[in-house]
């Protein structure tokens, strides 16, 4: 696609996804996410021409101007929209598909010093909320959404919504996903929750095995029965005892 056609396409994508955009001039002059994408395309071309140092210098200039750091080697598809943008970091081996939306504070990073593919792959149509960390060589499936503040450490299926630290699926193909097994949460406190759940089950089983368990399970049943009988007696007496009405 010719350069100017790409520029027009990028500007139209801003109007499609940001209701605050009012004019082409405003978009071109006031959207640092757009500048960062355009500068990256030039830096990416320099990187593949083996001009690695100039490419890195250019990407750092873009970081200074926009607050968005995109490694020149990162692969970015068409119509990437970075809204607000401050603090966005895209790593060297990251791959971003078409029509992706990133908000401020998003990190597409690695998890260590390993070599090779070590950054995420973001498929077409993905939405990533602000201050989200997507870490490691994982894949976010097509048309998925990542909630703000999430930490994604494993693959996300297509058409899913994930939230949390670490992120877990809450919607898939438009249907709510209910988590009934603590093992599925993958939270640092999952082991404690699992142990607590198992202990409660053991105590309930022991309570049911002991004599008089049914009575202890309802310790106030006798008192409640006495209260009901007392209220019935008061109601009966009220029919014969005058409380001075009409005086």
Residue 185 domain-assigned? no
The pair of three-digit structure tokens given for residue 200, joined into one six-digit string: 């409660």
Burial of 216 (0-12, 13-18, 19+ CB in 10 A): exposed
E strands present in 58-188:
69-70, 75-76, 81-82, 89-90, 95-96, 101-102, 107-109, 121-122, 127-128, 133-135, 139-140, 145-146, 151-152, 160-163, 168-172, 175-176
pLDDT over 90 percentage in the chain? 57
Residue 89: which CATH number?
Answer: 2.160.10.10
Determine the straight-line distance between the first and last CA of the chain, rounded to whole angstroms.
99
User: 76 near 44, Cβ under 8 Å?
Assistant: yes
Task: Report the pLDDT averaged over residues 4-33.
Answer: 90
pLDDT at 215 over 90: no
One domain, residues 197 and 117? no
Is the same domain home to 209 and 150? no
Token couple for 94: 């990251």
Average pLDDT score over residue span 29-36? 93
Q: Which residue has the higher pLDDT, 117 or 192?
A: 117
Contact by Cβ (8 Å): 94, 108 = yes
Whether pTM exceeds 0.85 = no
Cα separation of 73 and 112, whole Å?
18
Same domain, 196 and 170: no
In a domain? residue 247: no
Peptide bond into 47 cis (omega under 30): no
Domain carrying residue 66: 3-178
Residue 193, token pair as written in the block: 């929750």
11 falls within a domain: yes
Last residue of a domain, one of 178, 200, 216: 178
**Per-residue pLDDT at 37 exceeds 60:** yes
Residue 244 lies in a domain: no
pLDDT of residue 45: 95
Q: 78-116: string of b/e by CB count within 10 Å (b at 16+)?
A: bbbbbbbbeebbbbebbbbbebbbbbbbbbbbbeeeeee
Q: What is the pLDDT of residue 179?
A: 67
Average pLDDT, integer, range 109-135: 91
Q: What pLDDT is attached to residue 247?
A: 45
């Amino acid at each position: 696609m010719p350069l100017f056609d790409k520029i027009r396409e990028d500007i139209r994508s801003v109007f499609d996804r940001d209701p605050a955009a009012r004019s082409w001039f405003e978009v071109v002059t006031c959207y640092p996410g757009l500048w960062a994408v355009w500068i990256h395309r030039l830096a990416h071309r320099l990187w593949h021409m083996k001009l690695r140092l100039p490419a890195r210098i250019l990407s750092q200039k873009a970081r200074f101007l926009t607050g968005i750091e995109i490694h020149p080697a990162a692969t970015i598809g068409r119509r990437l929209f970075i809204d607000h943008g401050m603090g966005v970091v895209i790593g060297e081996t990251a791959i971003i598909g078409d029509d992706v939306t990133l908000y401020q504070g998003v990190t597409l990073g690695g998890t260590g010093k390993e070599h090779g593919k070590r950054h995420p792959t973001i498929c077409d149509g993905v939405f990533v909320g602000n201050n989200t960390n997507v870490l490691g060589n994982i894949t976010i499936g097509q048309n998925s959404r990542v909630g703000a503040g999430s930490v994604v450490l494993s693959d996300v299926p297509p058409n899913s919504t994930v939230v949390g630290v670490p992120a877990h699926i809450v919607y898939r193909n438009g249907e709510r996903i209910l988590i009934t097994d603590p093992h599925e949460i993958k939270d640092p406190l999952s082991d404690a929750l699992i142990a607590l759940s198992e202990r409660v089950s053991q105590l309930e089983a022991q309570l049911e095995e002991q004599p008089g368990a049914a009575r202890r399970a309802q310790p106030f049943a006798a008192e409640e029965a006495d209260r009901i009988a007392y209220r019935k007696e008061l109601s009966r007496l009220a029919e014969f005892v005058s409380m001075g009405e009409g005086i």
